[in-house]
């Protein structure tokens, strides 16, 4: 089933159409997969990659991460909440590391990210469609997350392919 044109009718409410993360067109084709590690149970997940077929879109490819995989960050979505909750309670770094099965160095780097993430999430969920449950709107949520936390990935460079 390579290069099947996925034209999703807007009336199809059961399955949200796959949209290009740059121009929002539904005129997209599947273009293979790549592996990501699922941080929740250490298994491999295949992430679907797509090509945007809109002639107006200047980007070529994008991928859609299945929930709960986050762009770039190798930690599970839920882990950010667990980590933040422990930080708020004043639990020390060594204990947080042990409870989350992470190295202390990893937790040290994760702490500021957790704070930033929760602050951002609290603000965004009031104004976005995915606000009431990001897991139900994962492509929209991960696109906004990526644009806010990794804006450099969204800068268009001439004649190169981009992945998000």
Residue 2 is encoded by which pair of tokens?
């390579």
How far apart are the C-alpha atoms of 119 and 141, rounded to whole Å? 15
Residue of the chain from 51, 52, 65, 87 that contacts Zn ion (CB under 5 A): 52
Check residue 22 for interaction with Zn ion (CB under 5 A).
Answer: yes
Q: Which residues pair with 43 in a beta bridge?
A: 38
Stretch that binds Zn ion, among 1-9, 15-23, 127-135, 148-156 (CB under 5 A): 15-23
Minimum CB distance to Zn ion, residue 157 (Å): 16
Based on CB atoms, which residue is closest to Zn ion, 22 or 143? 22
Check residue 28 for interaction with Zn ion (CB under 5 A).
Answer: no
How far apart are the C-alpha atoms of 45 and 66, rounded to whole Å? 9
Based on CB atoms, which residue is closest to Zn ion, 40 or 54? 54
Based on CB atoms, which residue is closest to Zn ion, 93 or 147? 147
Minimum CB distance to Zn ion, residue 5 (Å): 14
Check residue 164 for interaction with Zn ion (CB under 5 A).
Answer: no
For 112-127, give one letter per residue: b (16+ CB within 10 A) or e: eebeebbeebeebeee
Counting residues that bind Zn ion (by CB under 5 A) gives 6
Residue of the chain from 20, 80, 107, 110 that contacts Zn ion (CB under 5 A): 20
Preceding peptide of 5 cis, ω within 30°: no
Beta strands in 10-154 (DSSP E): 28-38, 43-52, 61-64
How far apart are the C-alpha atoms of 59 and 80, rounded to whole Å? 31
Residue of the chain from 8, 16, 17, 23 that contacts Zn ion (CB under 5 A): 23
Contact residues for Zn ion, defined by CB under 5 A: 20, 22-23, 52, 54, 57
């Amino acid at each position: 089933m390579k290069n099947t044109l996925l034209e999703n009718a807007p009336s199809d409410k059961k399955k949200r159409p796959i949209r290009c993360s740059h121009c929002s067109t539904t005129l997209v084709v599947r273009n293979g997969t790549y592996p990501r590690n699922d941080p929740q149970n250490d298994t491999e997940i295949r992430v679907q990659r797509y090509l945007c077929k809109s002639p107006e879109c200047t980007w070529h490819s994008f991928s859609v991460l299945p929930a709960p995989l986050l762009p770039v960050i190798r930690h599970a979505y839920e882990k950010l909440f667990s980590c933040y909750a422990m930080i708020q309670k004043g639990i020390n770094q060594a204990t947080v590391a042990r409870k989350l099965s992470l190295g202390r160095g990893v937790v040290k780097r994760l702490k500021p990210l957790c704070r930033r993430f929760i602050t951002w999430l609290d603000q965004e969920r009031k104004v976005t469609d995915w606000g009431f449950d990001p897991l139900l709107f994962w492509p929209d949520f991960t696109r906004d997350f990526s644009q806010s936390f990794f804006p450099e990935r969204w800068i268009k460079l001439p004649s190169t392919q981009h992945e998000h």
